[in-house]
Every structure is written in structure tokens, then in C-alpha cells.
Amino acid sequence: MRTVLRKHNNRFRERLATSRVMAVLRADSSAWFADAGQVLYEAGLGVLEVDLATPGALDAIGVLQVELGQDALIGAGGVRTVSAVDRCASAGVDFIATTTFSPDVLWRAQEYALPIVCGALTPTEVDAAWRYGPAAVKLYPAATSGGVRYLEEVQSTLPEVPLVPAGGVSLSDVDGYLAAGALAVAVGSPLLGDALDGGRLDELTKRASHLASVADRYA
């Protein structure tokens, strides 16, 4: 099992290191997720995290997987319980993501050989989480904890840990985080805007294309 998990984690990190961006989709309805996901994928952002707080999130993940194909990675975010891990595994998600550190959740994900981006904030939390074998650690909430400077401090202390800053990340922050050594950056509403509520997909295209061009410099 550990060999399989290591293989899946390595594959996930390689894909994330190419995309450099995790687009976080969360809304009151998943009705527009397929349209927005298509725009993101066509712009070059093919790693999508669908938050479980969205009604119908797991069904939306299935639709995105079918429509975007195997080149995309579609995962579930906001996974905080063992039962949620079970539901995600049954639904066939490509990865799961959390904003908190729960050993039980991490162990359960390992049982399924399911890559997980585990949430943590302090160096102690990050180090503890990393010992449980996640694919990467989501540094959350990054923006209100010091932003790029804080990432640099944590990265210098734990250089072996692939970090994904999330929480309050603006589009203008992405360049700085990647330059500071982040594996990737998780971006939500500043990228998606009103697209998940039936808003302008053309504006999403512009933002996604710009972000992809920034990320390409570090791929």
C-alpha cells in the first residue's frame, strides 16, 4: 500500500508542479461548475478543487472528470472527517484537500492510496502533518498569517515539505508565492469571480489565462 501511495503522491506532485495552481471551486450551487471548469482547463489550469460545502459537490466532480478527461485532476476540498474521505474515495475523486490537520483523515486517505493536500499553519503543524505522508501541505490561511514572507520562513525551516499556500490568496500574490518556493498556489474567488454564479465566463477566461501565464514561468 505504501508503494502505491508513494507512486500516486509522486504523480500528483508532478502534475501540480506543472500546473502550479489549484483552482478552488465553492458556491451555493454547482450548476455552473462544468462551464467554469472547462474555461479553466482550456486556459491551462487543470487542477481543480471542488469544496464539499457546495451542494452536489461529488456529483460535480464526476461531471468534471468526464468532461475534462484524464489530463485534468479533480479533487474534493474541505474534507475534515473519515466519513468524508470514504465518500470521496467511493466517488473516485483524484485527490482530497483539507484546511486542517487530522491524523485520522490522513490515515484513512492512505488506506485508499488517495493523494491528500493536508492543511496546517505553524511549522510544528506542518512538520507533524508531513510525517503522515500527504502529497503536499496546504499552508492555511496564508494571506492573513504573513503572506509570502511567512511562506519563506516556513519553507526555510522545512525545505523538504512541498507547500501550497491557500486562504485569501489574490491573483497578484501568486507570482511572489511561487518565486518563494511554493509547489503551487490555491486560488478561489479572486480567480473565479462571479463565474460560479452564472457570471461572465469571458472575464474568467482573461483571469485564468493571465494566471496560467504567470504559473508557466515556474513550471
Report the alpha-carbon distance of residue 15 to residue 60 in Å, rounded. Answer: 21
Using the 8-state DSSP alphabet, how is residue 212 labeled? H
Q: Are strands 96-97 and 47-51 parallel, antiparallel or unpaired?
A: unpaired
Domain total for the chain?
1
Q: For residues 134 and 107, is the Cβ–Cβ distance under 8 A?
A: no
**Residue-wise DSSP of 133-193:** --SEEEETT-GGGTHHHHHHHHHHH-TTS-EEE-SS--GGGHHHHHHTT-S-EEE-HHHHT
- 24 confidence band (pLDDT: 50, 70, 90): very high
Per residue in 146-179, pLDDT (tens digit) is 999 999 999 999 999 999 999 999 999 999 999 9
pLDDT for residue 2 is more than 80: no
Share of the chain above pLDDT 70, in %: 100
List the CATH number of the domain containing 36: 3.20.20.70
Per residue in 107-143, pLDDT (tens digit) is 999 999 999 999 999 999 999 999 999 999 999 999 9
- 5 confidence band (pLDDT: 50, 70, 90): confident
- 64 confidence band (pLDDT: 50, 70, 90): very high
Parent domain of 56: 2-216
